[in-house]
Amino acid sequence: MESVAKRVGLFIIVNALTAVEAQSIGKCSPPVLVSSTSGNIQVRVDPIPTGSPTACRIYRDDCAGGGTFTMILDATCGNTVTSTGLAADANCRYYCQGTASSGSVTGDASDIVTYAAAGSPVWTVQNTVFTKYDYDCVKLSWSAPDPQGSPITCYSVTRDMNADGNFVTVQPCVPNPNLYSQVFCGLSSPISYRFRVYATNRVGTSNTPSEVTVMLKNMFAVPGSVVTSYASAVQAGISHQVVVQAVDPLSGANELSGFSGTQYGSRIFVLRLLNPSKLDEITSTIEVPLVPGDTHYTTASNPIPVGMAPITASSADSGNGQYSIYYRPTVAGQYTMVIRTLEQGGLQAQYWDNQWFYGLPHETKQQPDMILDWERGDITGNAADFVTARWTGFIRAEFSEEYTFYVDADDHARLWIDDVLLFDKWDICCGGFWGRAVLSTGVYHYIKLEYRELTGQAHLKLYWSSFSQVKEPIPASRMYRAPAISGMPLSIDVTVGNLLPQNCLAYGHQLTQSSAGLPSVFYIQAKDTEGNNMTDSNGAVFVVQLATSGSTVSVVSTPLNESIGLYAVHYLLTKAGTYTVTIKSSNVDISNSGASLDVSPGPPAASTTVVTDGLAGAIDFMAGVPKVLRVTVKDVYGNVVERSQEGSFNLSLNLEWRNYSLTSSLALLDDSAQLTADFGRYFELTLPAQPTEISGIYDLTFTGLRSGNNRLYIRLNGEHILGSPFDIVGEANSASPFGPASVLQSVDPP
C-alpha cells in the first residue's frame, strides 16, 4: 500500500534534527477495526513499538471516495474512536501517524485500510424451521437475518450428528441471496442432526448461526399406536374424549413423553366420524361402506348426508406419550370412528399394475411431489399402460377460504375432499379438471385422488388456489400420509342429547288455521340441543296458550309417541278471530312459539242468525212497496260468517197474508176471497239475498200486496232463523179509491 505522503504528493521539509526525532517515533500500524454496524465504525490505533511517540493520530476520508482525509483522533496510542451517522455499507478509508513534541513531530504514516460501515449478519431469533420431505429428507427453511447494513450474499449450512460437535458443511456458501430453503436427504431415522445456517455478507459471516435439531423418527407416522380410552355410546351435543397412546416407530414401545413445545412439533392424530364403514380388506387404506353380513351393518339411514363432510378432530399432546382428541357429534345415529396418524412430507401413493385397483398395490410410498409426468415410461415399475394409482392423506391450508383444486390428467381422474366428490372424470379422457371445497386454517382435510392410465402419454398434476393462495402445486409440507392406527375402525353409537325447548318445533295445518267449534290438533316435535328428534323425552310437557283479544285458552300437550319425541295438542275454540299460539316447555318458548292462528267462523246456523233491521215499527211494511230486511248470518257460537262461506248456505223469505187487522161496527163487505183471488195470500223474495259491504250481513227484499196481519217466514238452509216466523202488519199504501179494484156491493139506496 502507498504511504499517505506518496498519495497526496506532500513533500515535507524538515531540518536534520527534526528528521532524526521523527525516525525515533517509528511507523504507525494501520488502524484496527474494533466493530462495525450499519452506519457505524469503531477503530483503534495500537501503540507504536519503536521510537518514543507521545500520541497517535487517526485520519479518515469522507467515506464517499474523496481524496481529503480528516483527523478524527489525536490521543494516546491504544485508544479507539467511533464514527457514527455514516451511510450504511459505505467504504471508509483510514490511516494513522505517531506524534511527539505536542504534535510538532510526526512519524511515518501507516498504510491506508478500508472498512465498511456495516456489520456481519446477525440472527436476532432462531428462525430456522424444518418440515419432513419424503421418507428420509427434511426441508430446512429460514428467513433473512438482520444484514447489519450490508446485503446478504449467500447462505451456508453445516451439520453434526448426535451432538458430537463435528460439524461438516452440507451447503456451501454459493452466491444466492434469495436462497431461503434447502432439502437434505439421506438422513437416518434414529440419529439426531443439528443443522446450523450461516449468513454471509461482504463484511463477514454471522458469528451465531440459526440452529435447529432434527430427528426423523419423531416425525414418522406411528400406526402401532392404540386407543386406550373412548366411549362406544356417546350423547349428541357433548364433547367426548378419546385417548391415544403413541409408540416409538422403530421399537414399538410406548412413548413416555411428548414433543409439545419442542422443535420437533408433535405427533399428529386425526379422528374422523364416518357413516358406518370399514377399512378396505386388501390395503386397509380407505374406508368402504358396510355390506350385509358385516359386523355393525345396519339398514338405518346414514347420519351424514351425501355431500356433507364427516366430523374431523385432531389431537393435543398431553406430554406423557398420550394424545387427547375431543370431538362433538351433532346428529344421532350409528357411526364408524377411524383415527389416523399423520406424517408430513407428502400423500401416501399406491400404484396397481391393472386398471381396476385389483389386489395388492405394486408399490406403496410417500409422494412429496404431485407433479408427475411419465410420458410413455413405466408408471408402476413394470407397466406403462392399463394402470391405476391412488393418493390418500390429509392437506392443511394456510387460509380459511374456498379453494379450487385443479387436476391435469392423462387419462382419467376423480377427486374427493373430506369425502365429498369434487369431480369424477373416470370415463372422460384427458384434460384439466377442477372442483372447489372450503378449507379452514389449522384443520386437516382428508383428500383422495384416483388416477387411471390406459394407453399413450401419461401424466397427473395436482394444483390448488384460493383468493389468497396463488395457483401452485400443493407443497409437500402441507400434505400428510395417514395410515390408520391399530384397532381401527371403532363403532360409535351417538344418542340424542338433552331436550332443548328452543329447538322443538310445532307443526300441522291446524297450528295456523282452524274453525270455531272444530276439534283441532297440531303436533310438537321434541328435539335435543343439536336438533335431533328426541327418542326419550322423559315426560316432557308443553304448555300451550291460545290468546286473542279478551280471551285466552290454555291446553297441555299429550304424548303421541315419546319414542320419537312426538306430542299432540288438541283444542276447540268457539270464538273466531286471530290467536297467538304460545308454546313453552319448562317455561321456555319453543322455536316457533308465537305463531299466528286464524280461526274462521263455523258453519252458518239458523238458530243464531237474526234479523237486525227492518222489523222495528208498529207497521212493518206498506202494501205494494218493496220492503228490505237486514239479516246477520252467524254460526252456532254467534260468530258472524265470512264472505268466503256464502256458497254454503241459502236464505229464503216467505210472506203469508192472514187477515185484516182493523175492526169496525159497520157491516162491511168481506172481500177477502176476491182479493185472494186477485193478489194471492203468499209472497216471496222480490230479489235474491244481497250481500252488504259488511261480511255476513245480507239484505232480503220482498213486496207484500195485502194490508193487515201477515206472517213472515225467514229460513236458512230450510230452517227457521231466530224469531221466525214473525207476525207483521202491513198497511194500505193509499186511501184513494181505485176503480178497477172496486166491487158492487148493493143496488139498494141507503
Provide the pLDDT for residue 125. Answer: 84
545: number of CA atoms within 13 Å, CB side? 11
Tell me, yes or no, whether 590 and 630 share the same domain: no
Distance from C-alpha of 128 to C-alpha of 255, rounded to nearest angstrom: 27
Distance from C-alpha of 680 to C-alpha of 703, rounded to nearest angstrom: 12
* pLDDT band per the 50, 70, 90 thresholds, residue 685: confident
Question: Domain total for the chain?
Answer: 5
Q: What is the pLDDT averaged over residues 578-606?
A: 96
Tell me, yes or no, whether 595 and 611 share the same domain: no
Is residue 293 assigned to a domain?
no
Provide the pLDDT for residue 131. Answer: 87
Provide the pLDDT for residue 740. Answer: 54
Tell me, yes or no, whether 622 and 703 share the same domain: yes
Which range among 15-24, 140-149, 522-531 shows the weakest confidence by mean pLDDT? 15-24
Going from the C-alpha of 364 to that of each of 281, 356, 378, 390, the distances in angstroms are 16, 16, 15, 10
Provide the pLDDT for residue 736. Answer: 53
Provide the pLDDT for residue 388. Answer: 94
Is residue 236 assigned to a domain?
no
Per-residue pLDDT reduced to its tens digit, 46-94? 988 877 777 899 999 999 999 999 999 999 889 999 999 999 999 999 9
Provide the pLDDT for residue 6. Answer: 38
Judged against a pLDDT cut of 90, whether residue 309 lies above it is answered with yes
Provide the pLDDT for residue 255. Answer: 92
- C-alpha cell at position 565: 319425541
Question: Is residue 729 a contact partner of residue 662, using CB atoms and an 8 Å limit?
Answer: no
Q: What is the pLDDT averaged over residues 458-467?
A: 96
Per-residue pLDDT reduced to its tens digit, 97-133? 998 877 677 888 999 999 999 999 999 887 888 888 8
* pLDDT band per the 50, 70, 90 thresholds, residue 2: very low
Tell me, yes or no, whether 421 and 544 share the same domain: no
Per-residue pLDDT reduced to its tens digit, 479-501? 999 999 999 999 999 999 999 99
Is residue 336 assigned to a domain?
no
Is residue 36 assigned to a domain?
yes
| Residue with the three cell numbers 283441532 | 520
Is residue 284 assigned to a domain?
no
Is residue 97 assigned to a domain?
yes
pTM score, whole prediction? 0.73
Provide the pLDDT for residue 624. Answer: 86
| 414 membership: H or E segment, kind and range | strand 412-417
Provide the pLDDT for residue 11. Answer: 35
Tell me, yes or no, whether 350 and 438 share the same domain: yes
Provide the pLDDT for residue 3. Answer: 45
Per-residue pLDDT reduced to its tens digit, 323-333? 999 999 999 99
The distance from CA 370 to its chain's CA centroid, rounded to whole angstroms, is 28
Provide the pLDDT for residue 8. Answer: 36
Judged against a pLDDT cut of 50, whether residue 43 lies above it is answered with yes
Per-residue pLDDT reduced to its tens digit, 152-174? 999 999 999 999 999 999 999 99
Is residue 20 assigned to a domain?
yes
Tell me, yes or no, whether 480 and 563 share the same domain: no
pLDDT-above-70 percentage for the chain: 91
Provide the pLDDT for residue 669. Answer: 56
Tell me, yes or no, whether 169 and 187 share the same domain: yes
Is residue 256 assigned to a domain?
no
Judged against a pLDDT cut of 80, whether residue 7 lies above it is answered with no
Tell me, yes or no, whether 436 and 570 share the same domain: no
Identify the domain boundary among 91, 116, 141: 116
Pick the residue with more confidence: 218 or 400? 400
Provide the pLDDT for residue 178. Answer: 94
| Amino acid identity, position 341 | T
Judged against a pLDDT cut of 90, whether residue 673 lies above it is answered with no
Tell me, yes or no, whether 610 and 717 share the same domain: yes
Tell me, yes or no, whether 559 and 658 share the same domain: no
Going from the C-alpha of 159 to that of each of 141, 173, 199, 461, 486, the distances in angstroms are 15, 14, 15, 34, 36
Provide the pLDDT for residue 16. Answer: 39
Identify the domain boundary among 576, 600, 624: 600
Domain harbouring 363, CATH code: 3.90.182.10
Per-residue pLDDT reduced to its tens digit, 184-229? 999 998 999 999 999 999 999 999 999 999 998 888 999 999 999 9
Tell me, yes or no, whether 349 and 471 share the same domain: yes
Pick the residue with more confidence: 744 or 230? 230
Domain that holds residue 157: 129-219
Tell me, yes or no, whether 347 and 464 share the same domain: yes
Judged against a pLDDT cut of 70, whether residue 5 lies above it is answered with no
State the Cα torsion 67-70-76-78 to the nearest 10°: -50
Judged against a pLDDT cut of 90, whether residue 737 lies above it is answered with no
Identify the domain boundary among 116, 139, 155: 116
Judged against a pLDDT cut of 60, whether residue 9 lies above it is answered with no
Q: What is the pLDDT averaged over residues 14-20?
A: 41
Mean pLDDT of the chain: 89
Provide the pLDDT for residue 684. Answer: 82
Distance from C-alpha of 524 to C-alpha of 590, rounded to nearest angstrom: 9
Domain harbouring 40, CATH code: 2.60.40.10
Q: What is the pLDDT averaged over residues 222-241?
A: 96
Per-residue pLDDT reduced to its tens digit, 417-438? 999 999 999 988 888 899 999 9
Provide the pLDDT for residue 670. Answer: 63
